[in-house]
Amino acid sequence: MRAVLQRVTRASVSVAGDVVGAIDRPGLVALVGVTHGDGPAQADTMARKIAELRILRDERSALDDGAPVLVVSQFTLYGEARKGRRPSWSAAAPGPVAEPLVDAVVAGLRQRGLEVATGTFGADMAVELVNDGPVTLLLEV
């Protein structure tokens, strides 16, 4: 499982022009991708890392500050583009495998007491954010 984690001052995700998820104060955006072989253990570890990673101002975590998190599924994090000009998506888990695991990350964040907004799995989404810092990390578990 991979996630691109960004510290933001605000963020939103829209589908067909309608906002489906938003955070309107400083927090995190987590673009989450799932690969074959990922399971509940990886989802739980990813939720813990997102919640506890000390990347907010003054070396605080989302859990420390009660900061909101916007989680967006992102199968393209497993795109392979080393050869040729067309990426391969074969390392990305199919929707029936990936969607419950992205949902498990969201549930793990909520179980830790965090406010979580989400995109819509499988939809063509427009993500808007103001990166704070900028701070952007790639997490792999």
- Name which of 97, 62, 75 is nearest 31 in CA terms: 75
pLDDT at 73: 96
- Name which of 16, 3, 96 is nearest 28 in CA terms: 3
Amino acid at 1: M
Who's near 82: CB < 8 A, 6+ residues apart?
none
Give the active site residues: 74-76
| Residue 96: its H or E element | helix 95-111
From first to last of its 141 residues, what are the pLDDT tens digits of the chain?
Answer: 999 999 999 999 999 999 999 999 999 999 999 999 999 999 999 999 999 999 999 999 999 999 999 999 999 999 999 999 999 999 999 999 999 999 999 999 999 999 999 999 999 999 999 999 999 999 999
pLDDT at 76: 94
CATH H-level superfamily of 2-140 = D-tyrosyl-tRNA(Tyr) deacylase (3.50.80.10)
pLDDT at 31: 98
- Domains of the chain: which residue ranges? 2-140
Contact 91, 104 (CB under 8 A): no
pLDDT at 19: 98
Question: Whole-model pTM?
Answer: 0.95
Burial 107-128 (b: 16+ CB within 10 A, else e): ebbeebebebbbbbeeeebebe
pLDDT at 134: 95
pLDDT at 132: 97
